[in-house]
């Protein structure tokens, strides 16, 4: 059997995860800093655009380091995602459905994969993995529940207590979109969605526990 020291370390394993992430992030930022010519930072809206706009105040123009949109969490990355979402709304109109999905630390898949003496708070990696699997299954199931999807946008956030949750915007084809309250009552989409979510609880592959226990 492989050693499970990291998995059994509780909050120390949390600190290790944060430290490793910080190291990876620092390496990425260092590469961007040392390869500004490679990413052609002069083409981003900075000094060149400012000079073309006849801005005389040198202190108000230019940037030392340009973070490209490929760097997750950078201003350009966030703006690119925002523009993509606004493009969908501009083309298809208002979204048809807004759905929120929240992780449950007491999911059977989570509790069944915990090591002896552990609680879900000791294994955020396990909770996040199960949540991602369920969210992926939900995406596949929504097409069956609501009909043809024209576009979908979602964002995953983490609550103060550490649990992930997702917000979804769905654009549904006009033929499948409810046109009146009677249509909503007829399809009973809320009840159907709850049934589907309940069924998803038992559809996560059973190898999650075997991987984390080995």
Segment 94-148, tens digit of pLDDT: 998 888 888 988 888 899 888 888 899 888 889 999 999 888 888 887 777 777 8
Q: Is the pLDDT of residue 153 over 90?
A: yes
Question: pLDDT at position 167, please?
Answer: 93
What does DSSP assign to residue 122? G
pLDDT tens per residue, range 173-194: 888 777 777 777 766 655 566 5
In the block, tokens 């290790």 appear at 16
38, part of any domain: no
Q: Is the pLDDT of residue 149 over 50?
A: yes
Contact 86, 151 (CB under 8 A): no
How far, in Å, CA of 158 to CA of 161, rounded?
A: 8
91, part of any domain: yes
114 φ, ψ to 5°?
-70, 145
45, part of any domain: no
213 φ, ψ to 5°?
-90, -20
> Which tokens in the block code for residue 25?
């992030």
Arithmetic mean of pLDDT over the chain: 79
97, part of any domain: yes
pLDDT tens per residue, range 48-65: 555 555 555 655 555 567
106, part of any domain: yes
How far, in Å, CA of 112 to CA of 106, rounded?
A: 10
Question: pLDDT at position 97, please?
Answer: 85
Q: Is the pLDDT of residue 25 over 50?
A: yes
When pLDDT is cut at 50, 70 and 90, the band that residue 22 belongs to is very high
How far, in Å, CA of 156 to CA of 101, rounded?
A: 9
29, part of any domain: no
Query: CA nearest 175: which of 194, 193, 195, 148?
Result: 148
- The count of domains in the chain is 1
In the block, tokens 């956030």 appear at 157
End-to-end CA distance of the chain: 6
Provide the domain limits for residue 196: 74-213
Q: Is the pLDDT of residue 32 over 80?
A: yes
Q: Measuring CA to CA, how many Å separate 107 from each of 10, 68, 119, 127, 178? A: 19, 38, 12, 9, 32
169, part of any domain: yes
- Is pTM beyond 0.85 here? no
Rounded mean pLDDT of 21-34? 92
42, part of any domain: no
Q: Is the pLDDT of residue 24 over 90?
A: yes
């Amino acid at each position: 059997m492989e050693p499970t020291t990291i998995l059994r370390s509780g909050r120390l394993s949390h600190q290790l995860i944060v430290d490793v992430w910080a190291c990876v992030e620092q390496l990425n930022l260092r590469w961007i800093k040392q390869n500004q010519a490679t990413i052609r930072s002069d083409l981003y809206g900075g000094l060149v655009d400012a000079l073309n706009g006849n801005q005389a105040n040198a202190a108000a123009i230019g940037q030392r380091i340009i973070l490209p949109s490929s760097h997750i969490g950078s201003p350009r990355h966030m703006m690119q995602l925002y523009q993509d979402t606004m493009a969908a709304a501009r083309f298809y109109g208002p979204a048809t459905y807004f759905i929120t999905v929240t992780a449950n630390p007491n999911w059977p898949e989570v509790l069944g994969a915990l090591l002896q003496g552990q609680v879900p708070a000791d294994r955020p990696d396990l909770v996040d993995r199960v949540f991602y699997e369920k969210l992926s299954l939900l995406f596949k199931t929504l097409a069956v529940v609501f009909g043809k999807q024209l576009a979908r946008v979602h964002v995953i956030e983490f609550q103060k207590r550490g649990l992930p949750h997702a917000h979804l915007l769905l654009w549904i084809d006009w033929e499948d979109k409810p046109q009146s309250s009677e249509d909503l009552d007829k399809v009973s989409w809320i009840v159907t969605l709850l049934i589907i979510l309940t069924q998803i609880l038992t559809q996560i592959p059973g190898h999650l526990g075997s991987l984390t226990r080995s």
